[in-house]
């Protein structure tokens, strides 16, 4: 029976380094995940997305892959991954893994061979090596900048000590971009897909899905670029790659799926990745970046649904991930929007306001038609950790921006599970300190502390996910807008279900005769106070 599970799944993102530490080295691992599968089943999610678990020097938290067919020893072994996939399936949880095809690690066998083989060698053709500009080739081959800051090119020092050509890296220098015009690159990733599909994974999250193909000739961006036509993203050739991958995926049973990290300026551009013979779904970054403003939120929902309708793809809703500011903190700021480029500074945040809005946002997100992502710790109401000591920061964006950008470590702090000890149950007793320290105040936010508190964020998520599965998942993927007054977002799904978010500064009344199914906060005197969402049965 076809379930189309991926159209409406609640998918929990596991950032492996920070989820749970089974072996006591202070870093999360697959044994830690295996020990927490019952927690995830009870939370009520349908699937798990694992950020890269492959062998990696961790120059970018595992998004620098040295071997796509093995597990990093910090996380475990290939046998552990196979056991984890089987056990997750036993709990009714599907497994998606992160595929990183735009670039590999500079420690990958191919890149090491390319450096060793020297200029002009076939080994270098799998990457983008190019001579520099200027008299002695001392300037980068073009004007592209890395997403992490600085030039996107690094010059090679050859084995004899001479200055060689440059190689392209759209992220850190330890992440050389692969040349997707090369047939061996295409063949290799098709084989990697099969390797993991044969091991039972239910699908892949595609890293930087818009970036694999580059404009022929690698032309300069120029001084005043058209952001919808950049030479290093959304180039037409990328679609041929996904068509060939989709053919492979569809030869496997069990409704396997692709979700793309497609981060582009317009919904039309993103929708092209979701044509019926390409990827199944993509992250909704417009929603993630949207300010806490009723009109803006409603507009994003409308544009999302309208943008996807022509290709028939499901919407997805996401509030946070391992690259962004945790939304509890974002929503407590004066500027509640998020921009990958410039919103990771130390703006002050009101934690009480942020948590109230985060609870309201959770109910909004979980009642919209389509799929939903929960980033680990969302369900505990974790804030961003903004005061990590400089010397502990590991994200390359911190160093490459000269400290101007604090980087992404503040949303990657290990989860608090239980107790009051040094790692709050993240590691076993007596373990090494965790790779990033948790704030002492998180002892009040542990899963254990929230477990039996009916008002906790954890129990809000559990109840909402269960209600969503029972009541909303079976419904058609449509909604009808309702005018509930200024500053509100209100819509009906079918079967008498209504979601009402009050993002205004005044209380609003409940509709006559409506029964409250769930509320993100107290409803004093039968009204919905500011920054509160209610689910109603009409």
Q: Which of 60/477 has CB closer to ligand GLC?
A: 60
Per CB under 6 A, does 234 bind ligand GLC?
Answer: no
User: Using CB under 6 A, which of 63, 75, 127, 461 touches ligand GLC?
Assistant: 63
Reply yes or no on whether 184 is catalytic: no
3-state secondary structure of 205: strand
CB-side neighbour CA atoms (13 Å) of 535:
25
**Quick count: other Cβ atoms within 10 Å of Cβ 24?**
16
Q: How far is CA 527 from the centre of its chain?
A: 35
Per rule CB under 6 A, count of chain residues that contact ligand GLC? 9
Q: Which of 17/74 has CB closer to ligand GLC?
A: 17
| Contact (Cβ atoms closer than 8 angstroms) between residue 488 and residue 502 | yes
d(CA 305, CA 290): 15
Element (H, E) at 54: strand 54-55
**Quick count: other Cβ atoms within 10 Å of Cβ 418?**
15
User: Using CB under 6 A, which of 60, 72, 177, 379 touches ligand GLC?
Assistant: 60
In this structure, the strands spanning 10-14 and 371-375 are parallel
3-state secondary structure of 267: helix
Residues numbered 76 to 105 that lie near ligand GLC (CB under 6 A) are 100
Q: What's the closest the beta carbon of residue 64 comes to ligand GLC, in angstroms? A: 7
The contact pattern for ligand GLC, residues 322-351, with x = CB under 6 A and - = no contact, is xx----------------------------
Per CB under 6 A, does 21 bind ligand GLC?
Answer: no
Which residue of the set 80, 98, 207, 234 is catalytic?
Answer: 207
Reply yes or no on whether 261 is catalytic: yes
Q: How far lies 278's CA from each of 183, 215, 301, in Å?
A: 19, 20, 23
Q: What's the closest the beta carbon of residue 496 comes to ligand GLC, in angstroms? A: 39
CB-side neighbour CA atoms (13 Å) of 145:
11
Per CB under 6 A, does 531 bind ligand GLC?
Answer: no
Per CB under 6 A, does 207 bind ligand GLC?
Answer: yes
d(CA 333, CA 232): 33
d(CA 533, CA 538): 15
Which residue of the set 60, 64, 177, 261 is catalytic?
Answer: 261
Per CB under 6 A, does 255 bind ligand GLC?
Answer: no
Q: Which of 154/446 has CB closer to ligand GLC?
A: 154
Q: Which of 208/279 has CB closer to ligand GLC?
A: 208
Per CB under 6 A, does 208 bind ligand GLC?
Answer: yes
Per CB under 6 A, does 171 bind ligand GLC?
Answer: yes
d(CA 158, CA 425): 48
Residues designated as active site = 207, 261
Binding site for ligand GLC (CB under 6 A): 60, 63, 100, 171, 207-208, 261, 322-323
């Amino acid at each position: 029976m076809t379930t189309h599970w991926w159209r409406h799944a609640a998918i929990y993102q596991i950032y492996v380094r920070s989820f749970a530490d089974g072996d006591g080295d202070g870093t999360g691992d697959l044994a830690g995940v295996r020990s927490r599968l019952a927690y995830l089943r009870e939370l009520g999610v349908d699937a798990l997305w694992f950020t890269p678990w492959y062998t990696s020097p961790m120059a970018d938290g595992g998004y620098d892959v040295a071997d796509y067919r093995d597990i990093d020893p910090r996380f475990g072994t290939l046998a552990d991954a196979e056991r984890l996939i089987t056990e997750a399936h036993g709990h009714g949880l599907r497994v998606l893994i992160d595929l990183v095809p735009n670039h590999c690690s500079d420690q990958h066998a191919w890149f090491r061979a390319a450096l060793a083989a020297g200029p002009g060698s076939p080994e270098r053709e799998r990457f983008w090596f190019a001579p520099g500009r200027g008299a002695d080739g001392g300037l980068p081959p073009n004007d592209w900048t890395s997403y992490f800051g600085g030039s996107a090119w690094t010059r090679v020092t050859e084995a004899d000590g001479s200055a060689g050509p440059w190689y392209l890296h759209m992220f850190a220098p330890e992440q050389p971009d692969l040349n997707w015009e090369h047939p061996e690159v295409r063949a290799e990733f098709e084989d990697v897909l099969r390797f993991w599909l044969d091991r039972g994974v239910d699908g892949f999250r595609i890293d930087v899905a818009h970036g694999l193909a580059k404009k022929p000739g690698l032309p300069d961006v120029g001084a005043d670029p058209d952001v919808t036509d950049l030479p290093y993203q959304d180039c037409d050739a990328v679609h041929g790659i996904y068509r060939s991958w989709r053919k492979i995926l569809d030869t496997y049973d069990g409704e396997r799926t692709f979700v793309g990290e497609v981060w582009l300026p317009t919904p039309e551009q993103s929708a092209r990745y979701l044509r019926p013979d390409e990827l199944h779904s993509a992250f909704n970054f417009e929603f993630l970046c949207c300010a806490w403003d009723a009109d803006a939120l409603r507009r994003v929902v409308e544009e999302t649904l309208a943008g996807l309708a022509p290709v028939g793809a499901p919407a997805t809703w996401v509030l946070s991930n391992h690259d962004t500011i945790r939304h509890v903190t974002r929503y407590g700021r004066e500027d509640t929007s998020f921009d990958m480029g410039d919103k990771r500074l130390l703006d002050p945040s009101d934690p009480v306001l942020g948590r109230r809005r985060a609870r309201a946002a959770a109910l909004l997100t979980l009642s919209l038609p389509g799929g939903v992502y929960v980033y680990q710790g969302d369900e505990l109401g974790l804030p961003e950790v903004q005061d990590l000591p400089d010397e502990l920061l590991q994200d390359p964006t911190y160093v490459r921006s000269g400290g101007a950008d604090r980087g992404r470590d503040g949303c990657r702090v290990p989860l608090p599970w239980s107790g009051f000890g040094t790692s709050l149950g993240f590691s076993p007793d007596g373990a090494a300190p965790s790779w990033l320290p948790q704030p002492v105040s998180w002892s009040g936010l542990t899963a254990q502390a929230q477990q039996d508190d009916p008002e906790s964020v954890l129990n809000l998520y559990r109840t909402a996910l269960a209600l969503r599965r029972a009541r909303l998942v079976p419904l058609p993927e449509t909604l009808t807008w309702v005018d509930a007054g200024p500053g509100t977002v209100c819509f009906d799904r079918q079967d008498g279900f209504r979601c009402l978010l009050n993002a205004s500064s005044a209380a609003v009344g409940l509709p006559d005769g409506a029964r409250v199914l769930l509320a993100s906060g107290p409803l004093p005197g039968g009204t919905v106070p500011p920054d509160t969402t209610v689910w109603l049965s009409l």
